[in-house]
Amino acid sequence: MAPLRFAANLDWLFQEETTLPRRMEASSQAGFPAAELCFPYSCGAQELREAADRAGLEVVLLNTPPGNKGDKGLGAVPGRQAEFREALGLAVKYAKILKCPRIHIMAGQIPLGAERDAVADLMEATFIENLRYAADILAQENLIGQLEPINNRITDPRYFLTTPQQAAAILKKVGSPNLKLQLVFSFAAGHIQIAQVPARHEPDSPGELDYSYLFQLLETMGYSGYIGCEYAPKGDTVKGLGWLYSYWKSHGVMRSGS
């Protein structure tokens, strides 16, 4: 069985470095072959392309721009369809320059002061409209769109997309093969991300998930995509990578840093 492949999420890892290009270099030096760049838009796309080339790093995931300060995406936000299309266009531009195959389409939040039940139908209709538009654009560029539910009890009580079931139902209504589910550890997803539960630290830190078993299961299932490391290191990023270096050693993988 082929060893699993891991990507550093640079919104979470290598925060010791102050710029995104330096985080890209640090992740490569630590042994990562790939990175997720959630919000790269404060840097020029060509600057990041050059940084990725220097580091020998593959970029495997971007997010759509979140919107205005405090926003968490525009996909399901009524009345902001034009802003969504502009944000999607920017994400596609970056994805093409960075040779990134996937874009996480952020749903956005319930408007301040609104009750979830009162706006749910309108927000779902808005999301479906925007996703159908996005699916056509992404198909033209040979890109994949990802939807990620976010836990509204732990992470963000106002985020619209909160469960895998809700996301799957919306994807079914859109009916596009180039839109997929993205979850923090899910076999059915188009992209997998990992973090320990509930504290969201390293996979080998104390918590509810046995990642040694889960990695073995993914290997048995033949999972060949990247696994995004989207966790908050308890301390120095590199010092917390013992779990990854142990995995590589046990599978005969030789990488710098390990």
CA atoms within 13 A on the CB side of 240: 23
CA atoms within 13 A on the CB side of 179: 24
Query: Is 230 among the catalytic positions?
Result: yes
Distance CA 144, CA 179 (A): 6
Cβ-contact 196, 189 below 8 angstroms:
no
Query: Is 148 among the catalytic positions?
Result: yes
Catalytic pick from 25, 36, 148, 202? 148
State the alpha helices, DSSP H only, in the chain.
20-29, 45-55, 81-98, 116-140, 164-174, 211-221, 242-250
Distance CA 204, CA 213 (A): 12
Catalytic pick from 25, 36, 202, 230? 230
Distance CA 167, CA 141 (A): 23
**What single string gives the DSSP state of each residue in 148-213?**
----TTTT-TTBS---HHHHHHHHHHHT-TTEEEEEES-TTSSEEEE--TTT---TTSSSS--HHH
Please tell me whether residue 66 adopts helix, strand or coil conformation. coil
Catalytic residues: 148, 230
